Amino acid sequence: MRTQVVIIGSGPSGLLLGQLLSNAGIDNVVLERVTKEYVLSRIRAGVLEEGACAMLEEAGAAERMRLEGLPHDGFDLTFDGQRHRIDLHGLTGGKRVMVYGQTEVTRDLMDQREKTGGKTVYEAADVELHDFDGDKPYVTYRKDGVEQRIDCDFIAGCDGFHGASRKAAPASLLKVYEKVYPFGWLGIIADVPPVNHELIYSNHPRGFALCSMRSHTRSRYYVQVPLDEKVEDWSDDRFWDEIRRRLTPDAAEAMTTGPSIEKSIAPLRSFVAEPLRFGRMFLVGDAGHIVPPTGAKGLNLAASDVRYLFDALREYYGEKSMAGIDGYSARALRRIWKAERFSWWMTTLMHRFPDDGGFGQKIQEAELDYTVNSRAASVALAENYVGLPY
C-alpha cells in the first residue's frame, strides 16, 4: 500500500492532523495499536484553548463542541482559606476557554473521519518506522497476524509518550529534558452536578485539589496524592471526604457526592524531546513532550504542534517547499517550552512538596498572594491559561 502521510496513533493529535490533511486532499492512513473502544475509554483532558477549538472548527469536527461545550470566562484559586476569582475574560481582553472532554474531541474526530472516508487501521501491532532519514520512508505493522507495509512521503509520530516513534529516533540525535514530580493526581468522574459553575484550583496544607467538570451533570475532581498511593485504597467515601477537606467551607458544603464512574492515579512529569523532526519523521503531541496536568496544557499543545505540521505539509504539497518542514521543530518547540514553563510554574505554585521545608512554603504563599493581588501577575497567569498565540 502507498499513501502520502502515515500517522501513527489515533489520539487527538493523530486524528486532528489526519482530518486536516484529508480536507486538504492529502492522502493519509492512521495506524492505532488498540481498539477504537479502548481509545474512547481513556479519560484525560478537559479544557480547550481557543486555538484548539478553532482547529476543530477547521477540521469540520466542532459541531457538538459548539452545542455541548461549556465556555468558561474564569476560574477560582483557593488558598489560605480564601477563594479568589481569576477573570480570564477581563484579564486577556476577551478570551475564554472551552470545557469539553478529550473523549468527546476524539469521538467527534473519529466520526468525522468515518464520514469523510479516512482510513484508520485499529489493532495495528508491532508498528515499525523505516528509512525516514531518506526519501522513501515506510512503516510496517501486523494486522490479524499478517505483516503489512505502507510506503509514504512522511511519517507523523502521534503515538503518545509510550509510542514507537520517539523510540525509533536515533539516540545520538535525540536530547531529552525531564522532571518527575514527587506526587500524582488521583482523579474521579461522577455523575453529580459540579460544585461550582467554574473550575476551582485549591492549594491546601493537605495537598492540591481541582474541581472540574465535563457537563452540568458530570464532575471531574482530582486530589494530589503521594506517588506510592494505590487506587484500591481509595473508596468513593474516602475521596469525597478528602476533597471536601481541601476546599473552603462554602465549597465543601455545596459539593454533591455520588458513586464514581472512573477512578485512577496519574503521575506528574515534565518532558521534552529535541528535535521533533528526524528527516521525514515528526514527533507530535505527547510523543514529543509531556506537561504536568496543572493548567491543562497537554491536549492544547498537541493541537498547536498539529497546526505547525499541517501548515508545513500543506506548503510542501502545494508549493513543493520544504521551508515549513525544515522549520517545524524549532517553531513547535518555542511554544512548547513556554507551556512547559507555565505548567511547571502552576504545578509548583499549587502543590505541597514533601521536601520543601519552611522556606519553600513561605515563597509559595508569597507567590500566591502576588499572583492574585498584582494585576500584572494575574494577567500573566490568565494569558498563559487561555493559551499563548500560535
Q: Give the active site residues.
A: 72, 201, 293, 297, 385
Q: Which does 266 bind (CB under 5 to 8 A by kind): ligand FAD, ligand DHB, none?
A: ligand FAD
Grid cell at residue 139: 512503516
Nearest to residue 52, comparing CAs of 118, 100, 88?
100
Q: Which does 88 bind (CB under 5 to 8 A by kind): ligand FAD, ligand DHB, none?
A: none
Nearest to residue 361, comparing CAs of 376, 373, 349, 372?
349
In the range 171-230, which residues lie near ligand DHB by CB under 6 A? 199, 210, 212, 220
Per rule CB under 6 A, is residue 69 in the interface with ligand DHB? no
- Selected binder of ligand DHB within 294, 347, 364, 371 (CB under 6 A): 294
Pairing of strands 199-202, 75-79: parallel
How many residues belong to the site for ligand FAD (CB under 6 A)? 33
Quote the least distance from Cβ 17 to ligand FAD, whole Å. 9
Phi, psi of 58 (to 5 degrees): -60, -35
Per rule CB under 6 A, is residue 293 in the interface with ligand DHB? yes
CB of 22 or CB of 212, closer to ligand DHB = 212
CB of 74 or CB of 288, closer to ligand FAD = 288
- Selected binder of ligand FAD within 6, 7, 10, 247 (CB under 6 A): 10
In the range 91-120, which residues lie near ligand FAD by CB under 6 A? 102
CB of 298 or CB of 387, closer to ligand FAD = 298
- One-letter amino acid of 148: Q
Quote the least distance from Cβ 187 to ligand DHB, whole Å. 7
In the range 127-146, which residues lie near ligand FAD by CB under 6 A? 127
- Selected binder of ligand DHB within 21, 26, 29, 47 (CB under 6 A): 47
CB of 264 or CB of 369, closer to ligand FAD = 264
Q: Which does 285 bind (CB under 5 to 8 A by kind): ligand DHB, ligand FAD, none?
A: ligand FAD
- Residue 98 bridge partners (DSSP): 48, 71
Grid cell at residue 76: 477560582
In the range 151-190, which residues lie near ligand FAD by CB under 6 A? 158-160, 162-164
Residues 137 and 154: beta-carbon distance below 8 Å: yes
Distance (Å, rounded) from C-alpha 383 to C-alpha 94? 11
Q: Which residues contact 131 (CB under 8 A, 6 or more apart)?
A: 137, 138
Helices (H) and strands (E) in the chain, counts: 13, 20
- Selected binder of ligand FAD within 101, 194, 293, 324 (CB under 6 A): 293
Nearest to residue 158, comparing CAs of 8, 3, 362, 304?
8
Pairing of strands 281-283, 154-157: parallel
Query: Peptide bond preceding 259: is omega within 30 degrees of 0, i.e. cis?
Result: no
CB of 158 or CB of 190, closer to ligand FAD = 158
Entry field: residues in the chain: 390
Q: Which does 34 bind (CB under 5 to 8 A by kind): ligand DHB, ligand FAD, none?
A: ligand FAD
The helix-helix angle for 50-59 and 102-115 (nearest 10°) equals: 20
Pairing of strands 260-274, 289-290: antiparallel
Residues 342 and 384: beta-carbon distance below 8 Å: yes
Binding site for ligand DHB (CB under 6 A): 45-47, 199, 210, 212, 220, 293-296
Binding site for ligand FAD (CB under 6 A): 8-14, 31-34, 39, 44-46, 102, 124, 127, 158-160, 162-164, 266, 285-286, 293, 296-299, 302
